[in-house]
Amino acid sequence: MEINFDGINVIGFDADDTLWVNETYFRDTEDKFADLLEKYETKNKIDQELFRTEIKNLDLYGYGIKGFVLSMIECALELSNNQVAPKTVRALLDLGKEMITQPVELLEGVEEVLQSLKDKYRLIVLTKGDLLDQERKLERSGLSEYFHHVEVLSDKKEKNYSDLLEHLQIEPDEFLMIGNSLKSDVLPLVNIGARAVHIPFHTTWQHEEVTEVVDNNGYMTMSTLTDVLKYV
């Protein structure tokens, strides 16, 4: 469904899996985690227990790699009945460090789109995760110059967005959000009167999946980021 883009003055971009690759690295690490614990359970069971542990810990640790690593260690202890070897715990810590130091891989068309939009709109980054990690990724990405503001949110719910837009003196009806997650980047914005573009990434974290049918009034789904340039 097409939407009216008239009156847009500010465009917000999600970061992970919108500007650069992220979820792929988590999936790769989950596979390595399952390999390290294969003596205790099946891969399917390990995947289920790790996801359960992550969700249980979200309110405590928030989003990001550090909380993910702590959840891996907790899950390893539970699956092994506290018998997991210290060298395995060390391997899990190393996996986390490897994720944090991973080179930033920009998604196709990102720089082209930002270059085209930077003089027409006020561009901001709205992402969630660990503050230090996201700041590092933005710096390594080389994209900082395009953005007027960067905000790392603890969560992406309607109140988080409403509070931020009010703080930045942005009216919802002049704001467009672009992201890969219907749950976090699109529906909360539409619900507060903003507009959004959904650009699915090929891999979606289970927690971000939307299973119920939703009315797509107020947002538009596009195949690639460069498709945005046809409308704004």
218: left (phi over 0), alpha (psi -120 to 50) or beta: left
With beta carbons less than 8 A apart as the criterion, state whether 177 and 12 touch: yes
Contacts of 207 (CB under 8 A, 6+ apart): 51, 54, 55, 58
Q: Phi-psi region for residue 129, left (φ > 0), alpha (ψ -120 to 50) or beta? A: left
- Reading the block at residue 194, the tokens are 């903003």
Residue 214 has a pLDDT of 59
Instruction: Going residue by residue through the chain, which has 232 residues, state the pLDDT in tens, using 9 for 90 and above.
Output: 678 899 999 999 999 999 999 989 999 999 999 999 999 999 999 999 999 999 999 989 988 999 999 999 999 999 999 999 999 999 999 999 999 999 999 999 999 999 999 999 999 999 998 889 999 999 999 999 999 999 999 889 999 999 999 999 999 999 999 999 998 999 999 999 999 999 998 665 454 555 565 556 789 999 999 999 999 9
Give the model's pLDDT for residue 80: 96
Note the pLDDT of residue 2. Answer: 73
**What is the pairing mode between strands 10-13 and 175-179?**
parallel
pLDDT at 205: 46
pLDDT given at position 201: 83
Task: Go through the domains of the chain in sequence order and give each one's CATH number.
Answer: 10-20+105-230 (3.40.50.1000), 23-100 (1.10.150.240)
